Every structure is written in C-alpha cells, then in structure tokens.
Structure 1
Amino acid sequence: MAAGCQSPPKAPPAPTAAASTADRVVVLKSRRLLELLHAGNVLDSFPIALGREPFGPKQQQGDGRTPEGVYQIDYRSMQTKYTRALHISYPDENDRARAQAMNADPGGAIFIHGLPNDYGPSDPPQWYKDWTEGCISVGNLAIVKIWDEVPDGTPVEIRP
C-alpha cells in the first residue's frame, strides 16, 4: 500500500455545488492554514497539521512530506481511523515523473482528514504539531464543515 494515511473505502457521494459551497481549497503550508474559497472569496479557514517533515514537496513514499501542487478531491470516506477523510489526487503525472527520476515510489494515500476517532468532537491543543505521514489534518469540527462544503472534483492547491 502507498505511504500516507490508510486508504479507506469510498463513501457516499459528496454534496452538490451550491452558492455557499467551496469551488477551491487552498492549503498554505507555511502558515499552517487551509482556506475554502468560492468565486475567489474566502468562505472559511482552518488551522492544519502537516506531514512530520513539512518543508518542501513530497518526493517519495515514506518521506513524511505533504505534496505541493494542484490536485483535486477525488473521493471521500467515513470508514477510516479519522473522523472523516477527503482523498487528494496525489500523485499526478509530474509527481510520478519526479519520483521515477529518483528511482523511487511517489507514495500516495494523501487525505484531508480530521483527528483520530478516539479524540471525540473537541480538538486537543497538542494536535497542532505536524504529525501525519503527509496528509493534511484539521480538527474534528472543521472536517465536518469541510466535508459538507467541498464537493468531489474541487481543486486543491497546496502551496509551500
């Protein structure tokens, strides 16, 4: 299995686009912030935790880095060890080519997800440190809102 968070089974369909639904997700790694945008306006923003090696783009499986680039939400799951999880379409063609040039596996199973299920609905302060294998983690209350506001197919831009 690819590196990253466990790849859960697919969930029921995502919400359909509406006026208050995000049409873009922007992740600002250096600011540890995820923004939901609609028509260029920020609808909401959430603090995030990243891979345990947060600087630079993901290069290969097991490096603990969070990818950088433009991807999309391609499926979601509630059958996971995290509250909810939205899969990001990493690796793309460029990521695979970069890894191949290094004779490495690019990894995969990169998600925007909540905290582990045993945390409950409140977010303990210690989760803000970078702890994932390359995923983007938000609080449990935040992932419910993101789940409701971000349809499958939404672009996800991950910036340094």
Structure 2
Amino acid sequence: MRILTAREVLPQSRVVFWLVLIVVMTAIPAHAQQITAGKNGYRIVVQKTDQVLDLYRGDQLLKRYKVCLGMNPFGPKKVTGDSKTPEGDYFICYKTESSKFCRFLGISYPGSEDAMHAFEAGTISLDKRNHIMGSERNGATPPWNTMLGGWVGIHGYPTDKYEKRWAVLLYPKPHNWTDGCIAMWDFEIQELFRLVDVGTPVYIRP
C-alpha cells in the first residue's frame, strides 16, 4: 500500500474543511445569519407572556420596561387586523419622531419566516414572499401593505390630548390596547429611541 505524502494529504484536508464549512453554513437559516447584533451592541428582547421589554448591550441587561401589547396578545401575528403582536426574530427598520404615538421604532415584520408560512398557507403570492425575504436580506423595511399587515413597532401613548387622556385612563399598563404594536410610556420610548439605531435586533418571544 502506498503511503500518501504530506503534499498529497494537505490538499485533501483542505477539500474536507471547505466541504464541512459549506454544509454548516447552508444549515443555518438565512434570518439567523442576518440578525446577530446591532452596530452599537444593543438588542431588544420582548417576552409577551410577562409583558416586558428587555434592553441588552452584549450579555448585560441594561433595563427592563413593562409594556402593552396587541389587544389579542396570544399567538403570533398572521394577518392584518388580527390585533396580535408578532413573534420571531426581527430588527429595527425605521425610526421617526413624527408619530402620533410620541416616537416610533418600526419593526421588520413581516419577516422571512412569516412570509414563508403565509405563502405555504396561500395567504400571499410568490412575488410578495420574495419581496419580504429580499427586504430582510438587505436589512430594509419590508412591504407593509400585504395581507400579513405592517406598521408594527414600539411606540408611546397617543400625542393627541383627547386620545391620550382616554388611553391613560382606560388602558394603563399592563392592559393590552394596541393593534399589535408594543407600547410604553412616553418618557420610556424617548429614552429607548435615543439609544437604539436602525438595525438593532428585536427578538419577540411568546
């Protein structure tokens, strides 16, 4: 039996290494590769059952906020008008101070997983699915005008004085009063708005 030389073994080992690497990378879901960490190290974790929003920097919990959710809080959001708060891995895709709810941090719902499930269920077309998945890959705002709904974000209370008065009286935390968004007191959203940028990961758990 001929014994392979070092020159013959080395190229083979490189081939094996690259084959293993390709298998590992293709096994990782696309959204897991895209959503890892924000530019400034912040990430947001929402626990729907506990109605809390946790702000992390790296592995350090910086602050916990009590929040309000959609009026129909149980289960993931699937269609427009269901008053559910989404569940999944997203990111901040839009920021504006010009909001009727004090400040608004737009969340990248619907995401790729939402789009795939909706396409399989016949809720959206192949083009809409591809548009949503492409937006996530590019770190852009997804289409918010599909049957899945949109304009889901983190915001404060209504800026209109009349609406604000009734919102505070009738729907104080932890009552769930939104159409699917995550709501917090105005001073809290102002604080969070200053800290996080577009691209900050948002993980929403049941």
Q: If you compute each CA radius of gyration, which structure gives the higher value, 1 or 2? A: 2
2:72/2:82 contact within 8 Å kept: yes
Does 1:86 pair with 2:131? no
What pairs with 1:128-147 in structure 2 (closer than 5 Å)? 128=173, 129-147=175-193
**Which residue is equivalent to 1:114?**
156
TM-superposition CA deviations, 1:80-102 (whole Å, max 9, x none): 21000000000011111222333
**Which residue is equivalent to 1:6?**
none
Structure 2 distance, partners of 1:125, 1:145, is 24
Does 1:77 pair with 2:81? no
SS of 2:81's partner is: coil
**Which residue is equivalent to 1:99?**
118
Higher relative contact order (CA closer than 8 Å, sequence separation 6+)? 1
Structure 1 140/125 Cα, relative in aligned 2: closer, same or farther at 3 Å? Answer: farther
**TM-score (norm: length of structure 1):** 0.81
Which residue, out of 81, 84, 92, partners 1:65? 84
Structure 1 gaps of 5+ residues are 1-15
Q: Runs of 4+ in structure 1 displaced over 4 angstroms?
A: none
Structure 1 35/125 Cα, relative in aligned 2: closer, same or farther at 3 Å? Answer: farther
Larger helix proportion of the pair: 2
Identity over the aligned pairs, expressed in percent? Answer: 37
Tell me how large the CA RMSD over aligned residues is. 1.8
Does 1:156 pair with 2:202? yes
Letter of the structure 2 residue corresponding to residue 145 of structure 1: E
Structure 1 distance, partners of 2:96, 2:179, is 18
Count of residues in correspondence between the two structures: 139
**TM-score (norm: length of structure 2):** 0.63
Does 1:36 pair with 2:81? no
Structure 2 distance, partners of 1:116, 1:126, is 12
Structure 2 gaps of 5+ residues are 1-38, 124-146
SS of 2:193's partner is: helix
